[in-house]
Amino acid sequence: MPVRPIRHQQPSRYKALLMLFLVYIAWGSTYLGNKLSLEVAGPFLVSGARNILGGLVLALVLLVWNRRLNCPGWKDVVQHCAMALLVVLMTGSFIVWGQTQVTSAVAAIVSSLVPVFMILGGWLCAGEERPTAAQWAGMALGGTGVVLLAWTQHAAGTSTLAGIAIVVIADVSWVAGSLYMKRHPLSSRLTMMESTSLLLLCGGMEALTLGILLGEHNALHWANLRPAVVAGFSWMVLGGSVLAYGCYLWLLQNVATPVAISYEYVTPVIALFLGAFVGGEVVTSSMLCASVLIIVSVLLVIRHRHGLRVYVRHYLLHKAPSRQSRS
């Protein structure tokens, strides 16, 4: 099996910033797309259809662009199916499932805890450094934000504790898959975009199969199909699946993990804005307070050692900060 040559040239910081921006926009808006799509179908059918179509669209684009596609072997298919269980089925599908019991804004806020779980998971399972005192404080602050959000939303009857728990499970699954892919790239015979396409197809088939087993195909509501739903679902296919997964996998391989997962403290703001002004959701003071606590916790976790300029210089340009720059 051929081995990819090691690239010594670091990616452009402008390309990295562009990839981050695209991930911010794509995943920040998918929560509203999920909410609209759930008016027609169940969560696993929505997730399955979205990712299968996303995988097919990406494969078609690659075929037109490159005029060829590398054919995956059975080992590649098995490997991608196994990884898709974590980063597609138990992440994307569970997020949609959770949104049957929580608002899109709440789902986005809880999902922003991914960097906190990433630091903790890296220490416990991936041999990374023990969290510092500032990181422990950030994790405690983030946990406080989630508890506040869960308690107030449950008391108001707008979200359930079970729905919030499902979103937390999705976060943990995403962290587990991301840490594994960081250390073990999916395939050496497929390009990154081909791997993304195969990952989406495998995860989509898993979600679709589970949806059929759960009988979701017997509860379709075609009468709720309207232009806004079609637009939201189409954007989830093109933006949330094709664009976002491709950019995120590129970021995992080319920038530091804290940068790759930094979208998590931007997407809640986007989701809150879209949920309130487009989706008609009510944004309460407790939600805003929880958002502030969680976003501050993430900033503490990923920026505990350096100032912003040194942080960007170190992580995006892969240059070690000088001793004088250390705080």
| Distance between CA atoms of residues 305 and 133, nearest Å | 11
pLDDT at 265: 66
- Return the CA Rg of the chain: 20
> Nearest to residue 190, comparing CAs of 11, 70, 31?
70
Band of the pLDDT at 218, cuts 50, 70, 90? very high
Tell which residue, 216, 224, 227, has the closest CA to residue 43. Answer: 216
Q: How many domains does the chain have?
A: 1
- 301 Cα distance to chain centroid: 18
The model's pLDDT over 281-322, given as tens digits with 9 standing for 90+, comes to: 777 787 788 778 877 876 777 664 444 444 444 444 444 444
Q: What pLDDT is recorded for position 281?
A: 73
**Residue-wise pLDDT tens digits, 128-151:** 778 778 778 877 887 787 788 777
Q: How far apart are CA 163 and CA 165, in angstroms?
A: 5
Average pLDDT over the chain, rounded to whole? 79
Whether 6 is covered by a domain: the verdict is no
Residue 1 placed within a domain: no
Q: Is residue 277 part of a domain?
A: yes
Q: Domain for residue 283, yes or no?
A: yes
pLDDT above 70: residue 327: no
pLDDT band at 257 (very low <50, low <70, confident <90, very high): low
| 8 is a domain residue | no
Domain assignment of residue 198, yes or no: yes
Over pLDDT 90: what percentage of the chain?
A: 21
- Whether 275 is in a domain gets the answer yes
Examine the pLDDT at 8 and tell me if it is beyond 70: no
At what angle are helices 161-183 and 133-156 packed, to 10 degrees?
A: 150
Q: For residue 204, what are its two tokens?
A: 């989509």
* Mean local confidence (pLDDT), 96-117: 83
CA distances from 301 to 65, 140, 313, 327 (A): 40, 10, 18, 15
Interior/surface letters 13-48, b for 16+ CB within 10 angstroms, e for the rest? eeebeebbebbbbbbbbbbbbbbbbbebbbbbbbbb
Lowest mean pLDDT among 29-33, 81-85, 220-224, 254-258: 254-258
Q: Rounded to the nearest 5°, which phi and psi values hold at 173?
A: -65, -40
Range of the domain at 52: 13-325
Q: What is the mean pLDDT of residues 11-18?
A: 78
- For residue 96, being part of any structural domain is answered with yes
How far apart (Å, rounded) are the C-alpha atoms in residues 319 and 99? 41
Judge contact between 95 and 170, C-beta under 8 A. Answer: yes
In the block, residue with structure tokens 């299968």: 52
Cα pseudo-dihedral 95, 101, 103, 105, rounded to 10: -40
**pLDDT on residue 312:** 47
